[in-house]
Structure 1
C-alpha cells in the first residue's frame, strides 16, 4: 500500500485521487462524473488535475456524495457547491455533522507515533484546517438511487456515524464504504481489513457490515487504505475474525 500521492484508474468507471491515508473517488461515465467523498480542501487541486488528465471539466461533475459528515470527507465539497453549483448529498442523519456540528467524543484510540504523525501531517499539508463546512446539502436515505452518473444506490451503514452510508454502483461493480471499515489504520499504520478509528458506535458499525457482505461486486473501496479487490463477504469475515 502506498502513501504517495497518485491519481489512478482502479477499474473501468473508477478513479482515485489522494492516497492510502485519505482518498477521493470518482465514478466516471460518458454522462458525467460523480465524486464520492471530498477528502481535504487541498484535494480540490488534485481533482482539477485529474479532470484535465481525463479530458473532462468541472461541468462534467454532476454531484458529490458524502459517505458521512466528518471533516476529512467534507473537504472541498462546499467550494465545489459554491463555485459550480454541484449538489452535495449526505444522509439526513449526518447533515448537521457535514454542516459543522461536532461529532461526539469516541473512546481512546490506539495509535503508534509515526503513522499518527504521518496522518496529521498529511492532513495539515492538504488543507485539513481549511475545510469549510457545508451550508446546503441534499439529504438522502438508504435505498435511494440518486440521479447521478453511475446510478449510485445508497445503503445505510450506521455506526461510524449515525448517517454513515455505502454507495453501491453496479455499473462499476463496486461499493464505496467510507469509514464503515478500513484496510489501513491511519493511527497505527496496520495494513489489514479492520474497523475504522474514531467510530461513534463500534458495535453498530460491526453489525452494519451485513448490509454489504452479499453484494455482487468486485471492489470494496474505503476512504482510508487500499481498495479491496474481491468478495465483500471475505472482507467482512476477515474483519470479524480479528475481533
Structure 2
C-alpha cells in the first residue's frame, strides 16, 4: 500500500479536468509536493505544486522532468488524447501514430525512466495508469487499441516491479465529466469521485480500480464468447 501523506507525486496531463483533481486531492491527502506536468504548464497558487513542461512523446522532455523530480514516490500516468471516433482503418496515419505515442508509448517510456527512482526507495511507491473501459471494448478505434496496450503493459509492470515494492494500479472508467466527454449525454463519472476512488484504492494496497458500472460490466464480459461481447458477429 502507498500512502499519499508526505508523498512526492508526479501527475501528467495536470491541466485537464482529471489531472487537476489529482493534483488537488493529492495535496488534500498530505502530499508534500506535486509535480504538475503538461505540455504547457500553468501557474498554481500553492508553493507545494511544481509546474513542469512535459511532452510524453519526447525522450528529452521525459529525461528533463525525471532529473528535476528525482524524489518522486507516486507517478500518475493521466495524460492522453482522443481522436474523433472512427473505425481503426478509417483513422489517418497521423492520428494512429499520435495516439500510440501519447496514450501508450509515452506512459511506458516515462514509467521506464521513473521506475529506477521508485525501486530504489524499496517501499511506499506507486505507479497509477489511467486506462479506460474501452480498453476492454473495442468500439473506439485507435483509442481502444492504445488503451488496451496500456492495460497490458500495466499488467507486465505490476509483475516486474512487485519485487522492488512498487505498487502498480490500473484504473478503468467509462465517461468522465470533463471536456473530453462534452459531446455525449451518456452517464458520466464526477472526476472528483474518480480521483478519490483511485487514491482510496492506492492507499489500501489494491492493484485495480473499476470506477463505474460500465467498467464492471466490461471486465465481466471478458470471459464471455466474442459473439456475446460483440453481438453483431452473431448475425
Tell me the TM-score normalized by structure 1: 0.37
Higher relative helix content: 2
TM-score, scaled relative to structure 2: 0.38
Which has a greater percent of strand? 1
